[in-house]
Amino acid sequence: MVKICCIGAGYVGGPTMAVIALKCPEIEVAVVDISVSRITAWNSDALPIYEPGLDEVVKKCRGKNLFFSTDVEKHVSEADIVFVSVNTPTKTQGLGAGKAADLTYWESAARMIADVSKSNKIVVEKSTVPVKTAEAIEKILTHNSKGIDFQILSNPEFLAEGTAIQDLFNPDRVLIGGRETPEGQKAIAALRDVYAHWVPVDRIICSNLWSAELSKLAANAFLAQRISSVNAMSALCEATGADVSQVAHAVGKDTRIGPKFLNASVGFGGSCFQKDILNLVYICECNGLPEVANYWKQVIKINDYQKTRFVNRIVSSMFNTVSGKKIAILGFAFKKDTGDTRETPAIDVCKGLLGDKALLSIYDPQVNEEQIQRDLAMKKFDWDHPVHLQPMSPTSIKQVNVVWDAYAATKDAHGVCILTEWDEFKTLDYQRIYDNMRKPAFIFDGRNVVDEAKLRAIGFIVYSIGKPLDQWLKDMPAVA
């Protein structure tokens, strides 16, 4: 029986391994982590992450061929294939701080693999890493190997949160990079055999190590670039009276461009896009390519601009001050169908409004008060460094109130901001919300989910990203 061990039971390690266990009943899969609370949750009925369809997959395999454990060394030493899916955050200190990937967690995992291994292993980079990381890992493993053969593969993960199970069941492609030696090719074939249990072979792409590592950074950069492109257009739409949805529809009808990933928004969030582009920028700089670095940096700059622009629009349209005003925040997660708040645009928008002394009442169906308080108190990039994580910030922000209902959040509010596109926000009783708000009542839709005409008919002043502006908003221009 082939044994797989995955180091890192997070958003990637957990779902990915659960699907491998489901699709490959003859393979034993152990997912290990140094976080006791995470492993306890994986072994309970309340999984540590919210992901549609995940519960069912885990329930079908857990205890049969899928195990979650904190006994990292035992499972690594017994495995034939070791996936490493630990966090690779942005460095907060030292050389490359604010840009380069921090490989501390990766390196310590690699050293541990070298220490405990007694048999040959295939070590798979599942985490997103800088190009050439495999070379560094190879050095660590071979210098400490005691004659054991380690083959390093790069097998980056392309799942998106909220649709992880669907993406894993039916991936556009699986990418496996390895050495171009007979041993490297044999290792590629072994991993290909695992995925071939359910992924059509023509969707399993094999490449050299560096292409696989770079493809992951490139894919995320291209995706984020589309969002920054449409968001840049949204600012121009507001200035000219064009409608960004109509522009995106017309542009996306060109089959060379395609319709996906062209939704204008308050900005992209999530644990990957910003981190991976900053990492790409750093790699370009290190390789003496400042023009290429600046090109990709612009994707992040537009994303920051979009968040600032949104806050400025709120403040300027509410008579240039939100001080002491109650603003309801609907949605805090970085996208719908996840409870993940890493790099969510809601953090920057809320911080911007708090900076102008607003009183915030926040509702998200999947994010609790402890998480929101922690996010608003945390410094940039600290979220992915467990050492910085406190159980609860000792002094919670008093201007922030977290509630479990959209109607409670909006009661007596001066304005409503929609920051996550949860489906339930489309069908709220907006007449009821309007009746219970201060007047004039404002809605700032950062996800273009509401029916503006209907809301205007009720009496709201409505701002939707990239849509033609109300006369009110035209009269109170935002300073970007």
Give binding residues for NAD(+) as ranges: 8-13, 33, 38, 86-90, 127-128, 161, 272-275, 342
Taking CB under 6 A as the criterion, the residue among 13, 269, 415, 446 binding ligand NAD is 13
214, 245 contact by CB (below 8 A): no
331 binds, among ligand UDX, ligand NAD, none (CB under 5 to 8 A by kind): none
Closer Cβ to ligand NAD, 167 or 348, answer by number: 167
Helices (H), 173-256: 182-195, 209-240, 244-252
- What is the C-alpha to C-alpha distance for residues 159 and 156, in angstroms, rounded to an integer? 10
Q: How far is the CB of 78 from ligand UDX (least distance, A)?
A: 29
Selection from ligand UDX, ligand NAD, none that 35 binds (CB < 5 to 8 A by kind) is ligand NAD
SS3 of residue 1 by DSSP: coil
Is residue 158 involved in binding ligand UDX (CB under 6 A)?
A: yes
Q: How many residues form the binding site for ligand UDX (CB under 6 A)?
A: 19
Active site residue 272: yes
Q: How far is CA 173 from CA 14, 85, 167, in A?
A: 19, 19, 10
Contacts of 474 (CB under 8 A, 6+ apart): none
Selected catalytic residue, list 272, 284, 350, 417: 272
Q: What angle do CA 100, 102, 108 make, to 5 degrees?
A: 155
Q: Which of 19, 68, 76, 85 binds ligand NAD (CB under 6 A)?
A: 85
Does 11 bind ligand NAD (CB under 6 A)? Our answer is yes
Q: Please report whether residue 165 would count as binding ligand NAD according to CB under 6 A.
A: no
Question: Counting contacts by CB under 6 A, is residue 300 touching ligand NAD?
Answer: no
Compute CA distances 257 → 127, 251, 260, whole Å: 29, 7, 9
Q: From residue 325 to residue 344, what is the string marking binding to ligand UDX with x (rule CB under 6 A)?
A: ---------xx---------
Provide the mask over 251-290, with x wherever binding to ligand UDX is found by CB under 6 A and - wherever it is not.
----------xxx-x--xxx-xx-----------------
403 residue type, one letter = V
Q: CB–CB of 22/60 below 8 Å?
A: yes
Looking at beta carbons only, is 273 or 296 nearer to ligand UDX? 273
SS3 call for 325: coil
Question: What is the four-CA torsion angle of 366, 355, 392, 386, rounded to 10 degrees?
Answer: 80
10 binds ligand NAD (CB under 6 A): yes
Rule CB under 6 A: say whether 77 interacts with ligand NAD.
no
Residue 136: CB partners within 8 Å, gap ≥ 6?
103, 107
CA trace torsion 307, 308, 312, 313 (10° rounding): -30
Least distance from C-beta 131 to ligand UDX, angstroms?
Answer: 17
Interface map 28-47 toward ligand NAD (x if CB under 6 A): -----xxx--x---------
From the list ligand NAD, ligand UDX, none, partner contacted by residue 108 (C-beta under 5 to 8 A by kind):
ligand NAD
CB 369 → ligand NAD: shortest distance, Å?
21
CA atoms within 13 A on the CB side of 476: 15
> Is residue 89 close enough to count as binding ligand UDX by CB under 6 A?
no
Residue 33 interface partner, choices ligand NAD, ligand UDX, none, CB cut-off 5-8 Å depending on type: ligand NAD
Strand partners, 327: 360, 415
One DSSP character per residue, 145-170 reads -TT--EEEEE------TTSHHHHHHS
Residue 164's φ and ψ, nearest 5 degrees, are -60, -45
Would you tell me which residues interact with ligand NAD (CB under 6 A)?
A: 7-13, 33-35, 38, 72, 85-88, 105, 108-109, 127-128, 157, 159, 161, 271-272, 386
Would you tell me which residues interact with ligand UDX (CB under 6 A)?
A: 157-161, 220, 223, 227, 261-263, 265, 268-270, 272-273, 334-335
Which residues are catalytic, by number?
272
